[in-house]
Amino acid sequence: MNSVNLTSFWNELPTPFFALAPMEDVTDTVFRELVLSVSDPDKLHVLFTEFTSVDGLCHPKGRDAVIHRLKVNDSERQLAKQKNVKLIAQIWGNNPEKFYQASRYISENFSFDGIDINMGCPVAKIVKQGSCSALIGQNSLVSDIIHATREGSGLPVSVKTRTGIKEHNTHSWISHLLNCRVSAITLHARTQRMMSEKPAEWDQVGVAAELRNQINPQIKIIGNGDVDSHENGLDLMARHQADGAMVGRGIFSNPFFFSEEKERDISQKLSLLEFHITRFAETWGSARNFSILKRFFKIYVNGFEGAAALRARLMETNDALTAISAISDFRRTVTHEFTGIT
């Protein structure tokens, strides 16, 4: 097995930097490529997969049910290389031996730049399993998990977590993680109980950054929560000493989040939606339910006359061809709105 990467790509990233958050049924290879395709160089630096169960990866039959979460299309990989964006596999569970086996499997079968451990998901059914945010404060177990992941893969290991369970426990919890030889810590500035319902409290990111300065200045601190624009992210990082900012729900209000060009016309939005639908169909076929795409329609179809009607029609579609046809029909009815379209 490869030796531990004490010096890794994390140390070579510019400061400040931006990352796109791992999101269930969102950040598959298709959506990551889409975001990359409309991102300016040096605006986006790190991408994460959907979170993947180590139990699933370690089970001969269970692996088939989760392996798609680690898929990286060649077109995404080429674009990421071109724009110098790093790809990270995120995994979750609570058994150190399975973290070892899963991380070893990932390193031997994929080409990721690092592995991230989810210690922050607040969803009840996951927490009841003793995983993700349930690991907060389980110091001995967490140390074993991080060690096992590092030994299994030889890749840089990072952790995404929250400030506590019912209340902020940032000082003791982050202090422990900083002593576990991780390369980076993403701190969602909310407790598990806060879910995503209350405003993120970025002062806790500042607490983590100050601890990092004292314990291990090489470790990157990434703040997460309520980053609603590129400018907002830069401001939050500056005020709270964070090295990076992770963008989650902000991408849903603006898929061009990482682009200098702020205003996009209707044609550009619809072209991006067509790209998403087409690439999704090419990548997954019948392996993933088309209805997954429906959560994305409002991202592209909003802010222009006729958007509500088009969105309603799209929500009734059940396959790529029908959805593309609906967009084409809409384009034909409003050709006067599109420069160059006849």
> Which amino acid is located at 231 in the chain?
E
Packed helices 170-178 and 139-153: angle between N→C axes, nearest 10 degrees = 30
Whole-number Å distance between alpha carbons of 233 and 244: 8
Whole-number Å distance between alpha carbons of 234 and 229: 9
SS3 240: helix
Which residues are CB-contacts of 37 (< 8 A; sequence separation ≥ 6)?
A: 79, 275
| pLDDT of 88 higher than 60 | yes
DSSP letter for each residue of 157-207: EEEEEES-SSS--HHHHHHHHHTTT-SEEEEESS-TTTTTTSPP-THHHHH
| pLDDT of 338 higher than 50 | no
Active site residue 58: no
pLDDT, residue 197, reads 84
Average pLDDT over residues 6-23: 91
Residue in the block written with tokens 């088939």: 64
Span 263-298, pLDDT tens digits: 688 899 999 999 999 999 999 999 999 999 999 999
- Grade residue 320 by pLDDT with cuts at 50, 70 and 90: very high
Catalytic: which of 58, 121, 132, 180? 121
The fold of the 9-253 domain, in CATH, is TIM Barrel (3.20.20)
SS3 148: helix
Span 154-199, pLDDT tens digits: 999 999 999 999 999 999 999 999 999 899 999 999 999 999 889 9
Structure tokens at 4: 């531990």
How many Å from the N-terminal Cα to the C-terminal Cα in the chain?
A: 59
Structure tokens at 27: 């950040």
